[in-house]
Amino acid sequence: MLLKADVLAKSLDENKNESERIIYLSPKGKKFDQNLAKELASEKSLSLICGHFEGVDERILSTRNIEEISIGDYVLSGGESAAYVVIDSILRLLPGVLGNENSKLDETFENGLLEYPQYTKPQIWEEKAVPDVLLSGDHNKIKHWRLSQSEAITRDRRPDLWEKYKKN
């Protein structure tokens, strides 16, 4: 299945808003990341094109100023699930979407690191305790513990991110 150029062009031409960014979700596109999510979240208008199976006629991509974005190095049957990923990551960046605006400041990728471990009650579960520093009430120590945990997790699990982090 391939989206036809004339059908897609008609839809775009009849429905495009002024200064709207049009994105085609494709494995050939620029890799989607948190920085691009932030950029797209600042847009006034955005349209996502979801191909199915084989995608879209190449002529539409070259005649309508359509950007291609990839959510990763794998192939899906259609762009619908990729669109959901993009939409979800953008929406949570918009003011008022999250209950606490500060909660997005410590998230994975905000400072180039993976997020630190999270814990809930009870304090001891299956003989495993919440780290004492988190129960200490010392916000400075907690901040340093979280940073050291984020650094260790990133270094161990995502050396690619760790190398970027060290350069900054």
What are the tens digits of pLDDT across the range 45-58?
999 999 888 899 99
Residue 33's nearest CA partner among 76, 79, 69 is 69
Structure tokens at 140: 């400075």
- Cα–Cα distance measured from residue 160 to residue 25, given in angstroms and rounded to the nearest whole number: 24
Q: What percent of the chain has pLDDT over 70?
A: 96
| pLDDT of the residue at 107 | 76
Q: For 8-164, where are the E strands, in sequence order?
A: 21-31, 46-50, 55-56, 66-70, 124-125, 128-129
| pLDDT of the residue at 104 | 65
| pLDDT of the residue at 31 | 96
Q: How confident is the model at residue 102 (pLDDT cuts 50, 70, 90)?
A: low
For the chain, give every domain's residue range.
2-91, 106-167
| pLDDT of the residue at 119 | 97
Compute the mean pLDDT over every residue in the chain, rounded to the nearest whole number.
Answer: 93
Q: What class does CATH assign to 106-167?
A: mainly alpha
Name the pTM for this structure: 0.83
- 103, pLDDT greater than 80: no
Residue 34's nearest CA partner among 118, 116, 112 is 112
Q: Which residue has the higher pLDDT, 27 or 1?
A: 27
Structure tokens at 32: 């989607």
Instruction: Give the DSSP letter of residue 96.
Output: T
Q: What would the pLDDT profile of 4-43 be if each residue is shown by its tens digit?
A: 999 999 999 999 888 899 999 999 999 999 999 999 999 9
CATH code of domain 2-91: 3.40.1280.10
Residue 114's nearest CA partner among 71, 149, 164 is 149
Q: How confident is the model at residue 94 (pLDDT cuts 50, 70, 90)?
A: very high
Q: Which residue has the higher pLDDT, 104 or 58?
A: 58
Arithmetic mean of pLDDT, 108-122: 91
